[in-house]
Structure 1
Amino acid sequence: MRYDHEPDDHDLGLAHDLTVMGAMMARRRALKWFAGVGTAAVVAGCGGSEDDAVAVVSSTTATPTPTPTPSAGTSAACIADPTETNGPYPADGTNTSSGATSNALTTSGILRSDLRASFISSSTVATGVQLTLTLKVVNVNATCAALSGYAVYIWMCDRSGNYSLYTAATESYLRGVQVTDANGEVTFTMIVPGCYSGRWPHIHFEVFSSLTAATSGRYAVLVSQLALPSAVCTAIYADTATYPGSATNFARISLSSDNVFGDNTAAQIAQQTPTLTGSPTAGYTGSAIIGIAR
């Protein structure tokens, strides 16, 4: 068939029509993108090439906000403290001293935060490097939730390695009970205990589910011990006048050879060792977590 005029676009066949339709659709998509990027993007793209327009659209793509990384020391991880012996000098009603049952837990005055003075038949104040220690009692079966209303009984030897009510029979210092607050915490003021032969420097403690339950060591939900940090002990025991014999005894013992801490895991030892800051002259302040499976 012969045409009497120049062919129009729609006379060039299907292949040509598809090409034209594709170009029109691409143009519409581009216009739709520009409409979505706002006036600023369109103005920035005016007068530029098609590549420039694409660049403007790309530059407005939102950048995902990175997830903050928890800072060091914010982990709430905890483990259950191991059960340890309450030793020969607990004064919790579970043993005797000089033939008499020794139970400081039923004695008036045991509920206190400053443990340095005797409170029964003497008013002697234990001397040595001051230590203020905060203990946080948590439930390891409830994501380390604080346990409030629990009673914590702690005791330790004096700077010469003697225990009140036993080897220092007339004294009642360095023993006391506190009840955990809403944060599961109790704070005691005491002294850094001395190091006696055969044991790593330590602090004894028992935890009871309530103050009412703290009338006998038999009701404790946990009996355990805290290990003093090595560097702190080395610094303090260098003063042999204040801590006679401690430096020599400490040099002969290690955590691995200690008959209480020696079979514990590294994780258990880490939790049983309080974090302390200070100096022998200014005293020390620190804290430790006590994990209980409830």
Structure 2
Amino acid sequence: MTPSDPHPAPPHLDDDTDDELVGSILSRRRALRLLGLGGGALSLAAGGVLAQRAGGPSTGGAAGSSAGPGGGSGLPGCVVRPALTEGPYFVESEPRRADLRKDTTTGTVSAGVPLTLNFLVSKVSVGSCTPRSRVLIDVWHCDALGVYSGVSGNTGNFLRGSLVTDAQGRASFTTIYPGWYQGRAVHIHFKLRPLDASGKATGEFTSQLFFPEGVNSAVFARAPYRQKGTRADTPNAQDGIYRNGGSQLLLDVKGDPAAGYAATFDVGLNIG
């Protein structure tokens, strides 16, 4: 690497906190108790609690996955999500926008396979999940070559942004499929913060989203990703953060690398 390199790689994971494990994965019995359906009151687990509504994407058989239709009596078709590390690349006050691809400081648009990332946020209460408005969602991730904006000597604000959920609990971002960098599986960071009437955050939950390996391979065979190689050096199964509950945060992406992909992350929130 030289000082003139406009896209220095992020520091190795041993030198930052991106591989710090946060939060916990809860058993189905513990999830029922937290939802007030197993004899305990609705409460907040260590690191926060997220839940997926019935009909959302399949996340595999990890601990904490449960009960869609036909599950536990009264369970609102929700599964517990683990909190994962914020990492060293979060920037406060990211631009409020739906399209993350443009760097507003230079006008440059990040190249890559288009990705539409939809969030559907609900309020978790005993026996139900209802749409939750006024939740600030921050999203940030690396570009096709594994570079983050605004950190590690890089300027700009490409592939960063935030939106507030509408009355239906929805927020939709247009971005590109993320690339990879040394020591990490392919991922997108996100933070959820419920807002009060004055716009002040009343709680916070931070985690990461992951991608199926077959889709990663298809994307990385294309330009500009293939400049880094056709496969990430750390697949999901070898990523320490993914092993802490990433199977519950695995996106069900639809589409193809030529036309682009779309994914919906359907979650419930009981903080703030």
TM range (shorter): 0.5 to 0.7
Aligned length: 198
Q: TM-score scaled to structure 2, two decimals?
A: 0.66
In structure 2, the residue matched to 1:80 is 80
In structure 2, the residue matched to 1:185 is 170
Distance in 1 between the 2:108 and 2:166 partners? Answer: 29
Task: Check conservation: 1:129, 1:191, Cα contact below 8 A.
Answer: yes
Offset at residue 256 of structure 1 (A): 3.1
Offset at residue 144 of structure 1 (A): 2.3
1:129 to 1:240, Cα distance in 2 relative to 1, 3 A:
closer
Q: Residue type matched to 2:163 in 1?
A: Q
In structure 1, the residue matched to 2:133 is 148
Offset at residue 169 of structure 1 (A): 1.6
Offset at residue 213 of structure 1 (A): 3.1
Aligned residue for 1:233, secondary structure, equals helix
| CA deviation vs aligned residue, 1:104-147 (integer Å, no higher than 9, x gap) | 33xxxx1110000012x321111100001111112333422221
Q: Higher Cα Rg: structure 1 or 2?
A: 1
Task: Check conservation: 2:136, 2:163, Cα contact below 8 A.
Answer: yes
Distance in 1 between the 2:269 and 2:229 partners? Answer: 32
Distance in 2 between the 1:148 and 1:72 partners? Answer: 20
Q: TM-score scaled to structure 1, two decimals?
A: 0.61
In structure 2, the residue matched to 1:224 is 207
Q: Residue type matched to 1:89 in 2?
A: Y
Q: Is the aligned partner of 1:237 residue 2:237?
A: no
Q: Is the aligned partner of 1:269 residue 2:247?
A: yes
1:153 to 1:166, Cα distance in 2 relative to 1, 3 A:
same
Task: Check conservation: 2:144, 2:179, Cα contact below 8 A.
Answer: yes
| CA deviation vs aligned residue, 1:214-233 (integer Å, no higher than 9, x gap) | 6xxxx652011101122211
The percent of aligned pairs where both chains have the same amino acid is 32
Question: RCO (CA 8 Å, sep 6+): is it higher in 1 or 2?
Answer: 2
Aligned residue for 2:262, secondary structure, equals strand
Q: Is the aligned partner of 1:123 residue 2:101?
A: no
Distance in 2 between the 1:168 and 1:291 partners? Answer: 36
Distance in 2 between the 1:242 and 1:269 partners? Answer: 24
Structure with the larger helix share: 1
Task: Check conservation: 1:196, 1:246, Cα contact below 8 A.
Answer: no
Task: Check conservation: 1:126, 1:173, Cα contact below 8 A.
Answer: yes
Q: Residue type matched to 1:91 in 2?
A: V
Task: Check conservation: 2:179, 2:225, Cα contact below 8 A.
Answer: no
Q: CA-atom RMSD, angstroms?
A: 2.4
Unaligned runs of 5+ in 1: 1-70, 93-103
| CA deviation vs aligned residue, 1:230-288 (integer Å, no higher than 9, x gap) | 2211110112543422524x2x4232321211122xxx624x12221111110111211
Equivalent of 2:238, from 209, 232, 257?
A: 257
Offset at residue 208 of structure 1 (A): 0.8
Equivalent of 1:205, from 190, 198, 202?
A: 190
In structure 1, the residue matched to 2:256 is 279
Task: Check conservation: 1:152, 1:178, Cα contact below 8 A.
Answer: yes
| CA deviation vs aligned residue, 1:131-184 (integer Å, no higher than 9, x gap) | 011111123334222211111010100001000001462221111111111221
